[in-house]
Amino acid sequence: MEKTYDLLIFIGRFQPFHSGHQRVVQLALQQAKHVLILVGSSFKARDIKNPFTFGERQNMILESLEPQDIAHITIRPLRDYLYNDNKWMAEVQKHVDINSKFNDKIGVIGHDKDDSSWYLKAFPQWDFIEVGHSYDASIDATTIRNMWLSGQSPNFTSGVLRDSVHSFIYNKFIKREYERLVREYDTITKGKQQWKGTPYEVQFMTVDAVVVQSGHVLLVRRRAAPGEGLWAIPGGYLNANETFENGMLRELREETKIKVPEPVLRGCIKASHVFDAPNRSLRGRIVTRAYLIELPPGELPKVKGSDDAAKAKWIPLADFEKMEEEMFEDHHHIVSYFLGRV
C-alpha cells in the first residue's frame, strides 16, 4: 500500500509505554514508510515523574511491537533543555536529518491535549497529524505511575500495558530504586496535602549557589526525599526575613561548611538568575534565584556535608558534564546556564 509520508516523528516520554502510545505507533506505520520515536527526558535522574531510563523505555517499546514493524522504526534519546526551547527543537531537527533525505515528506504525529503539547506544532516545515484520544482517557501514564508507586493492584493496568512491560514494572524493576521512589512519592504527596484547600495555589521561593573554583563545582548529595541520594547545588527555601543573597549564603554555609569567610564569598558573586520553569520541581510551584560564585584559583577550600546534605564535594567540571542522570531536578541545567553550556 502506498504510504503518504516517508517519515513520521512521534515524540513522548513514555513513562511508561502503554496501549495509547502503541496505537499511535500503529497509526504512524499505516501512513509512513518509517517512524522515528524520540524518547523525551532521556537523561534525567529517576524521579516519580520519570522513573524509567531511556534504555528501559526503549525495551518497553520494542517488546510492545510486532517483529515485522521493528524494521520500520528508529528509537532515539531526546535530551531536555528546560531553559532553551530552541536548542531542544534543534536537537529534534538533527535526529530527523539523520533519518531522512532532502525530498522526504515528513510529519509529526500525536495528540494536542493541552499546553504541554506545544511542541507538536513547533515545526512548521512538517505536517502535523492529530490522532485524538487513542485510549481510555481515564488511564494515562500519570495514573499508571501513581498506582504503581502507591502499591495499588496491578490488575487495573493489565489491559493498558503489554505483558512484558507490566512484568518489568511490577516484578523486575530494581527494588532499591522502587523503594526510594516510593519514599519520594509519599513525601511529595503528603507535602501537597498540607496545602490542599488554600484559596490560591501555594508558591515557594528558594535560593541556590553555584560555586566554582579551579575547574571544579561544589555539589552536595541530598540526604532525604525528594531526590534522596542525588547530587545538587547547595540551596534551600528562603526565609521570610532575609534577602535572596543572604539566604543563599546562609544555605551554602549550612550545607557545605565551606571554609571561606562570608565577605569573600559575597565579593566573589559574579551573576545571578531566576529559574522559573513551571514544572522545574515535582514538589509544587517553586521559583529559585541562583547565584554564581567564582572563587579565585588556588587550593580548593575544605567542605563538609551538613544539614540537608549528606555529603559535600568539589567535582571536576569534566566529571560534572557526565552527571546529568545523577542530578536533582533542574540543577544540571542551572549550573550549565552559568557555565555557558546551555
For 100, half-sphere exposure in the C-beta direction (CA atoms, 13 angstrom radius) is 23
Place of cell 500525536: 110
- How many contiguous H segments (helices) and E segments (strands) does the chain have? 11, 12
Task: Select 5-173's CATH number: 3.40.50.2020, 3.40.50.620, 3.30.70.260, 3.40.50.300.
Answer: 3.40.50.620
Segments making up each domain of the chain, as ranges: 5-173, 203-338
Report which secondary-structure segment, H or E, holds 30: helix 19-31
For 193, half-sphere exposure in the C-beta direction (CA atoms, 13 angstrom radius) is 6
Give the pLDDT score at 134: 52
In contact, 250 and 238? CB cutoff 8 Å: no
Give the pLDDT score at 114: 76
| Exposure b/e, 170-204, CB count within 10 A at least 16 = b | eeeeeeeebebbbbbbebbeeeeeeeeeeeeeeee
Q: Distance between CA atoms of 142 and 61, rounded to whole angstroms?
A: 18
In contact, 65 and 75? CB cutoff 8 Å: no
| Exposure b/e, 17-29, CB count within 10 A at least 16 = b | bbbbbbebbebbb
> What is the residue-level pLDDT of the chain in tens, covering all 342 positions?
789 999 999 999 999 999 999 999 999 999 999 999 999 999 999 999 999 999 999 999 999 999 999 999 999 999 999 999 999 999 999 999 999 988 899 999 998 877 777 888 899 999 999 987 655 555 689 999 999 999 887 676 677 899 999 999 999 999 999 999 999 999 999 998 888 888 888 899 999 999 999 999 999 999 999 999 999 999 999 999 999 999 999 999 999 999 999 999 999 999 999 999 999 999 999 999 999 999 999 999 999 999 889 999 999 999 999 999 999 999 999 999 999 865
Cell of 197: 484547600
Judging by DSSP bridges, how do beta strands 127-130 and 106-110 pair with one another? parallel
Q: Distance between CA atoms of 256 and 220, rounded to whole angstroms?
A: 7
CATH-assigned architecture of domain 203-338: Alpha-Beta Complex (3.90)
Give the pLDDT score at 115: 76
Residue 318's φ and ψ, nearest 5 degrees, are: -65, -35
Q: Which of 59, 78, 90 has its CA nearest to residue 10?
A: 78
pTM to 2 decimal places: 0.93
Question: Is residue 226 reached through a cis peptide bond, with omega within 30 degrees of 0 on the bond before it?
Answer: yes
For residue 9, the SS3 value is: strand
Give the pLDDT score at 137: 54
Cell of 27: 497509526
Cell of 106: 515528513
Give the pLDDT score at 133: 66
Report which secondary-structure segment, H or E, holds 75: strand 73-77
For residue 34, the SS3 value is: strand
Judging by DSSP bridges, how do beta strands 127-130 and 285-294 pair with one another? unpaired
